Chains A and B, each alone.
Chain A
Amino acid sequence: MPEKTIYMDNAASTRLDKRVLDAMVPFFFDTYAVATSEFGYSMGIEAKEMLEEARVKVSKAMKGSPEELIFTSGDTESSNLALKGVAAALGTKKGKHIITSKIEDFPVLNSAKSLEKSGFKLTYLGVNGDGLIDLGELESAITPETILVSIQHANQEIGTVQDIEAIGSICHGKGTLFHTDATHTFTRLPIETDRMPVDLVTISGHTIHGPKGIGGLFVRKGTPLNKWMDGGYQEFNLRAGLENIPGAVGFAKAIELVTSEENERLKGIRDALIERFLKEITRTTLNGHRTKRIPQNANITFHSVEGESITLHMDMRGIEVSTGSACFSRSLEASHVLMGIGGNHERAHGSIRFSLGRFNDISEVDRVVEAMSEVVTRLRAISPLDKREDEA
Chain B
Amino acid sequence: MRFPYNEKVLEHFKNPRNVGKIENPDGKAIVGSPACGDMVAVFIKVEPTEHRIIDAKFESYGCASNIATGSIITELAKGKTIEEAKLISWQQASEALGGLPKIKGHCSVLAVEGLREAITNYEEKHGLVKNKEPTTAEVIKRRLKNVMNPITGLDIVRGELVKDIRIENGNVDIYVDLPEAHIFAGNIRDEVKERVETLWDVKKVEIHFNDQ
Contact with B61, one of A306, A312, A316, A392 (Cβ below 8 angstroms):
A306
Q: B166 an interface residue at 8 Å Cβ cutoff? A: no
User: Within residues 116 to 143 of chain A, which ones have a CB less than 8 A from any CB in chain B?
Assistant: none
**B186 vs chain A, min Cβ distance (A):** 7
Q: Which of A206-214, A353-361, A383-391 contacts B (4 or more CB under 8 A)?
A: A383-391
Q: Which of B37-45, B120-128, B202-210 contacts A (4 or more CB under 8 A)?
A: B37-45
User: Within residues 155 to 184 of chain B, which ones have a CB less than 8 A from any CB in chain A?
Assistant: none
Contacts of A307 in B (CB 8 A): 63
Instruction: Give 1 or 0 for each of B6-41: 1 = CB within 8 Å of chain A CB.
Output: 000010011010011100000000100011111111
**B59 vs chain A, min Cβ distance (A):** 4
Q: A308 an interface residue at 8 Å Cβ cutoff? A: yes
B63 close to A309 (CB less than 8 A): yes
Q: How many Å lie between the Cα of A345 and that of B32 in the bound state?
A: 13
Q: Count of B residues near A, CB < 8 Å?
A: 38
Q: How many Å lie between the Cα of A355 and that of B64 in the bound state?
A: 23
Contact with A334, one of B37, B40, B59, B152 (Cβ below 8 angstroms):
B37
B67 close to A382 (CB less than 8 A): yes
Contact with A308, one of B1, B30, B64 (Cβ below 8 angstroms):
B64
Q: A325 an interface residue at 8 Å Cβ cutoff? A: yes
**A292 vs chain B, min Cβ distance (A):** 26
A384 close to B63 (CB less than 8 A): no
A315 close to B3 (CB less than 8 A): yes
Q: Count of A residues near B, CB < 8 Å?
A: 29
Q: A304 an interface residue at 8 Å Cβ cutoff? A: yes
Q: How many Å lie between the Cα of A326 and that of B103 in the bound state?
A: 12
A316 close to B37 (CB less than 8 A): no
Contact with B64, one of A309, A346, A384 (Cβ below 8 angstroms):
A309
Contacts of B19 in A (CB 8 A): 381-382
Instruction: Give 1 or 0 for each of A302-331: 1 = CB within 8 Å of chain B CB.
Output: 001111110011011000000001111000
B40 close to A306 (CB less than 8 A): no
Q: How many Å lie between the Cα of A370 and that of B107 in the bound state?
A: 28
Q: A349 an interface residue at 8 Å Cβ cutoff? A: yes
A308 close to B63 (CB less than 8 A): yes
Q: List 24 A-B contacts (CB under 8 A).
A: A304-B61, A305-B61, A306-B37, A306-B61, A306-B66, A308-B63, A309-B63, A312-B4, A312-B5, A313-B14, A315-B1, A316-B14, A327-B62, A327-B66, A345-B35, A345-B37, A346-B150, A382-B16, A382-B60, A383-B61, A384-B39, A385-B39, A387-B21, A392-B186
Taking Cβ atoms with an 8 Å cutoff, the residues of A that contact B are 304-309, 312-313, 315-316, 325-328, 332, 334, 343-346, 349, 381-385, 387-388, 392
Q: Which 5 pairs show the lowest CB-CB distances between chains A and B? A: A327-B63, A384-B59, A308-B63, A384-B41, A344-B153
